[in-house]
Amino acid sequence: MSNTQPVTPAAPKTPGKPSGLPAPARYWAALGVLLAISITVLDSGISNIALPTIAADLNILPSTSIWIVNAYTITIIATLLPFSAIAERIGFTLMYRIGISIFIAGAIVCSMADSLGLLVSGRIIQGLGSSSVMCLFGGMVRNIYPPHKLAAGISLNAMTVGLMAVLSPSIGAFIITIAPWKWIFIFTIPFCLVALYAARFLPVIPKISAPFDYLSALLNMLTFGLFIWALDESGNKPILAGIGLLLSLLCAILLIRRSAPLAAPLVPVDLFRIPTFSYAIIVSALTFMAATAAMLALPFHFQNSLGLPLATVGILFSTWPIGSIVIAPLAARLSARFPASMLAGIGAAIMFIGLCGLLLLPTPSPLTLISSCMFLIGMGFGFFQTPNNKAMLLSTPLHRSSATGGAQATTRLFGQGIGAAIVALCFSISQSHGAIYALSAAVFITLIAVLINLIRFFKKLDTAVI
């Protein structure tokens, strides 16, 4: 157990503002980050689409096969903040190499799995590897690109996420049609090897000398692990899920009280004292809640309420990430000229309009109208992400870059978890109208995000402190 007395981070080895890497090291470092992002997004998408095939091959129930996904997700969200704290102490480059290596080991275990237990074990290992690199993305981007190119770097990351989200189901389906399902895990290994090579070009980021707080790490894992588990089990085991949520809340209270007096705590409560960061985190969580709730509810709405075939639904959903990809470069350029709160507010407002359009669709509706609404949602989401992430990353001290990135990733997963829980709750209230209720909730949450962006715009909370 570590000393809980306040500690002072080591002074940065490189004083002043980050100036980014020179070319061509910048290109290799950016490639390493983009590959790591692609690997983590692809791994989720291609494994999700393979679940029915895996369940049939291993002779397990479809409901049981969900743990192939849950084990990966719970592992990531439970370890993001502890791994961020470790990265601040051992260095980003070493943490990156460890994470990619662990991911490769997990992929090998998954490719050799002949039982659910071994496959879930491999997915947990992969989750540890993914978490080890995901917690670094924000801090790396901030230090790879010079200030005038930072928005472009964030935009490039967003475009990569959108592109991989579009491609992953098709890639997974293609692999399964030509090879055994185990090849979906082997597929990512060559990209991991290239990412390992690119690690030699990553920026050197100042470390901190604070001791690692093992008790806080345990409380953090219990807080998020119990929370996600309780959300997943709320429909099947409501009593146990309720107990899990209460225990998660208790651990969260203990964790915050323990972290509050520290200068560089594992849970970055010190960063939440920065208004720009806090507002950016809040609206980010809200937009991910709304996006996830809509994304999970819309397939039911399209098929059950509008009577659309599954193939058509798949095509319609591709317009969402396409909208994000198309708008990301424009958002990057505008973020250098206009306040983040203004741009993020406009993005959230565009999301709101698209969601309202889907909620008010007549039956039947032309596919062009539906796809236009989906495109608007994706465009609004993409327009929101770049300026908001830029404000988030630049609002914190340089030596807390890893904690900032970890908080950013944790917020995304937390918002997605809440969004999924909202959908489950809506369907538990009404099977026939659950999709409409969930979509209505997404509209309301997006409206709150718009209003909060208005508040931070009038408070002028857009000044970054590097």
Q: What is the pLDDT of residues 368-425, one digit of tens each?
A: 999 999 999 999 998 998 889 888 888 888 777 778 888 888 888 888 878 877 887 8
Q: What is the signed CA dihedral for 241, 122, 192, 317, rounded to 10 degrees?
A: -40
Between the ranges 123-127, 207-211, 322-326, 327-331, where is the mean pLDDT highest? 123-127
Nearest to 32 by CA among 89, 96, 101: 96
Kindly indicate the confidence band of residue 9, based on its pLDDT and cuts at 50, 70 and 90: very low
Nearest to 100 by CA among 201, 186, 197, 233: 197
State CA 134 to chain mean position distance. Answer: 8
Helices (H) and strands (E) in the chain — how many of each?
A: 18, 0
- Average pLDDT of the residues in 193-215: 85
Look at residue 163 and give its three-state secondary structure: helix
For residues 241 and 230, give the distance between their C-alpha atoms in angstroms, rounded to a whole number.
4
Q: What is the largest CA-CA distance in the chain?
A: 64
- Average pLDDT of the residues in 210-217: 85
Kindly indicate the confidence band of residue 464, based on its pLDDT and cuts at 50, 70 and 90: very low
pLDDT at 172: 82
Report CA torsion sign: 298, 331, 329, 137. negative
Contact 385, 408 (CB under 8 A): no
Tens digit of each residue's pLDDT (9 = 90 or more) over 14-44: 434 556 788 888 888 888 889 998 898 888 7
User: Structure pTM?
Assistant: 0.79
Kindly indicate the confidence band of residue 458, based on its pLDDT and cuts at 50, 70 and 90: confident
Look at residue 224 and give its three-state secondary structure: helix
For residues 459 and 214, give the distance between their C-alpha atoms in angstroms, rounded to a whole number.
38
For residues 425 and 231, give the distance between their C-alpha atoms in angstroms, rounded to a whole number.
10
In percent, the amount of the chain with pLDDT more than 90 equals: 29
Burial classification of residue 284, based on how many CB atoms lie within 10 Å of its CB (0-12 exposed, 13-18 middle, 19 or more buried): buried
In percent, the amount of the chain with pLDDT more than 70 equals: 94
- Token pair, residue 271, equals 């960063």
For residues 168 and 393, give the distance between their C-alpha atoms in angstroms, rounded to a whole number.
28
- Average pLDDT of the residues in 205-217: 82
Tens digit of each residue's pLDDT (9 = 90 or more) over 311-348: 788 788 888 888 888 888 888 888 888 888 899 999 99
Examine the pLDDT at 165 and tell me if it is beyond 80: no
- Average pLDDT of the residues in 223-234: 82
For residues 293 and 423, give the distance between their C-alpha atoms in angstroms, rounded to a whole number.
6
Examine the pLDDT at 65 and tell me if it is beyond 70: yes
Kindly indicate the confidence band of residue 11, based on its pLDDT and cuts at 50, 70 and 90: very low
Cα first-last separation, the chain: 32
- Whole-angstrom CA distances from 152 to 25, 34, 141, 284, 418 are 17, 13, 10, 19, 30
Between the ranges 76-90, 116-130, 221-235, where is the mean pLDDT highest? 116-130
- Token pair, residue 393, equals 């990353």
Nearest to 158 by CA among 303, 268, 7, 321: 321
Contact 302, 313 (CB under 8 A): yes
Q: 321 preceded by cis ω (within 30°)?
A: no
Report CA torsion sign: 390, 393, 396, 397. negative
Kindly indicate the confidence band of residue 281, based on its pLDDT and cuts at 50, 70 and 90: very high
| Backbone torsion region of residue 430, taken as left when φ is above 0, otherwise alpha when ψ lies between -120 and 50, otherwise beta | beta
Read out DSSP for 336-359? Answer: TTS-HHHHHHHHHHHHHHHHHHHH
Kindly indicate the confidence band of residue 446, based on its pLDDT and cuts at 50, 70 and 90: very high
- Average pLDDT of the residues in 259-269: 80
Contact 141, 150 (CB under 8 A): yes
pLDDT at 10: 37
Average pLDDT, the chain: 84
Examine the pLDDT at 69 and tell me if it is beyond 90: no
Q: 339 preceded by cis ω (within 30°)?
A: no
Contact 77, 417 (CB under 8 A): yes
Nearest to 88 by CA among 222, 219, 271: 271
Amino acid (one-letter) located at 448: I
